[in-house]
């Protein structure tokens, strides 16, 4: 007895579904490797042939792509915000050291203060500097004499006349007196 055409088609469809089901289970173990580009050529051909007919596996592959995009976007965004200056500076320094810099280049490298401007250390550093400067200024500008006034006159000389020095402590007065003779005075005309 011959089978009806519709029954034959249904049988073929069931066989195909069974084969696809088996094929899905065999392909799914390659799907992640395929997604990561780690499959062999033979495996890639097998997976790609299966994906043409299997919407379920295509959907699964699409899920993997979506997941990757979902993870990568915020990570890349965060990486763009953070440029890791200190890491890069350290790497550059190591590279420079490997290049065996000349002494002049070494000095320039050491004096390079640009990374400091990227850090937030200058606010406390400036505050400390201001405080220390204030204290230092108080010491420098202190008006207390460091020695007594006993020797106010360091020297006195006159090639023409005698000189006398008086020094009083109360009141605090020092007098330097030139004993000029009357003949030195020239009356104005």
Partner 1 sequence: MALRGTGEGTRPHMRKIVLLLAVFFVFAFFSLSTASAQVHARMRVIRASSVGSSVDPSLRDVHTDLGSLFSFTSYRLLRDETLTLSLNRPVSISAHEGRIIIESTLVGLHRGVAELRIRVAREGKDILNTQVKLSPGRTVFIGGPRVRDGVIIYAVHANF
> CA of 103: how far to CAs of 18, 96, 107, 110, 113, in Å?
76, 12, 6, 10, 18
Q: Looking at 17, 119, 127, 131, which residue binds partner 1 (CB under 8 A)?
A: 119
Binding of partner 1 at residue 56 (CB under 8 A)? Answer: no
CB 174 within 8 A of CB 153: yes
If 0-12 CB within 10 Å is exposed, 13-18 middle and 19+ buried, where does residue 187 land?
Answer: exposed
Taking CB under 8 A as the criterion, which residues in 86-105 touch partner 1? Answer: 86-87, 89-90
Binding of partner 1 at residue 108 (CB under 8 A)? Answer: no
- Residue carrying the six token digits 């289970």: 25
Binding of partner 1 at residue 137 (CB under 8 A)? Answer: yes
Binding of partner 1 at residue 160 (CB under 8 A)? Answer: yes
Question: Which residues, including other chains, have CB under 8 Å from residue 31's CB and lie 6 or more apart?
Answer: 47, 57, 60, 61, 64
Binding of partner 1 at residue 156 (CB under 8 A)? Answer: yes
Residue among 162, 153, 151, 169 at smallest CA distance from 184: 162
3-state secondary structure of 80: helix
In whole angstroms, the minimum distance from the beta carbon of 115 to partner 1 comes to 7
Binding of partner 1 at residue 151 (CB under 8 A)? Answer: yes
Calpha distance 54→95 (Å, rounded): 52
Pattern of binders to partner 1 over 9-38, x per CB under 8 A?
------------------------------
Binding of partner 1 at residue 80 (CB under 8 A)? Answer: no
Question: Which residues, including other chains, have CB under 8 Å from residue 149's CB and lie 6 or more apart?
Answer: 169, 172
In whole angstroms, the minimum distance from the beta carbon of 121 to partner 1 comes to 6
In whole angstroms, the minimum distance from the beta carbon of 102 to partner 1 comes to 19
Give the residues lining the site for partner 1 (CB under 8 A): 82, 84, 86-87, 89-90, 110, 113, 115-116, 119, 121, 125, 128-129, 132-133, 136-137, 140-147, 149, 151-161, 163, 166, 168, 171-180, 182, 184-188
């Amino acid at each position: 007895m011959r089978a009806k055409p519709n029954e034959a088609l249904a049988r073929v469809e069931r066989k195909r579904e069974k084969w696809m089901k088996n094929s899905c289970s065999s392909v799914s173990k390659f799907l992640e490797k395929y997604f990561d580009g780690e499959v062999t050529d033979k495996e890639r051909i097998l997976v790609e042939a299966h994906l043409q007919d299997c919407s379920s596996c295509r959907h699964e592959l699409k899920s993997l792509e979506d997941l990757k995009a979902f993870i990568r976007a915020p990570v890349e965004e965060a990486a763009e915000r953070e440029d890791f200056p200190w890491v890069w500076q350290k790497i550059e320094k190591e590279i420079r050291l490997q290049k065996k810099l000349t002494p002049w280049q070494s000095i320039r490298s050491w004096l390079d203060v640009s990374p400091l401007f990227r850090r937030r250390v200058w606010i406390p550093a400036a505050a400390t500097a201001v405080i220390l400067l204030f204290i230092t200024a108080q010491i420098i500008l202190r008006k207390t004499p460091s020695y007594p006034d006993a020797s106010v006159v360091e020297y006195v000389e006159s090639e023409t006349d005698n000189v006398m020095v008086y020094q009083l402590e109360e009141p605090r007065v020092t007098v330097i007196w030139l004993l000029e003779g009357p003949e030195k005075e020239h009356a104005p005309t």
